Amino acid sequence: MLRKPLDYIFPSPPEGLNPESLVVEAVPRHVAVIMDGNGRWAKKRALNRLNGHKAGIEAVRETIRCANDVGVDYLTIYSFSSENWKRPLEEVSGLMNLFATTMLAEVDGLHEEGVRVMTIGHAEGLPDKTRAAFQEAWDKTKDNTGMTLVIAVNYGGRTEIVDAARALVERSVAAVRAGEEPPEVTEGEFERFLYTSRIPDPDVILRTSGEMRVSNFLLWQGAYSEFVSVDALWPDFDRYELLRALLEFQRRDRRFGAV
């Protein structure tokens, strides 16, 4: 359900793009985004990669505002994977500082909009400053009832699945030791131990920069997500690129394995 009028959300659409063609009832409940292309954006401008990440912050702001306004209930952004630690130390350190400063600068505005901020991934592996910023955002916004912004940081889909399997085994062993019947291993029971246990699966996964990989992102949850590849590099992604992606999602026929 729209949280603001379409002409407010999309005030100056480019020629050929009609916001009124967005079917409000078909807006996906959960949008997940693989933000790709910051490095290439910087390279094209003879800048270092961190400048690309800084430029991408405005795209993050724009996407959050627009997704919230058009009625998306959950927006998950892939900000830092468990594999990204392999990048140069200067880039990783800069990213961690950027996460902390941006989160602290944005949380009050998000709170005013009713957005709830949470993270998924191994937060304990983050620098203290970064972890504290995300914790502060959660503490301030956890009771909000608007869109939930899920930040995947130090996150890996395979690790999440292994963590869930380990937790399920530990619960079963504890039940046996207590003389109880262990829980039946079903998809539903397994999902209870995922980081996203109280979050619906993404309806659509967007990836910018024209790439077609899932990159270890929401491997379990994305089993039946629609995949939309956007040519724009992440710093160039704006509300109209998001609108195009939503319109593309509307054209898909989701059958979930049926005919």
* Positions marked active-site: 36, 84
Tell me the three state secondary structure of residue 215.
coil
Residues in the chain, how many?
259
Containing 120, the helix (H) or strand (E) segment is strand 116-120
The distance of Cα 253 from the centroid of its chain, to the nearest Å, equals 23
Contacts (Cβ under 8 Å, ≥6 apart) of 203: 28, 29, 30, 31, 225, 226, 249, 254
Tell me the three state secondary structure of residue 23.
coil
Would you say 69 and 24 are in contact if contact means Cβ atoms under 8 Å apart?
A: no
For residue 226, what are the β-bridge partners? 204
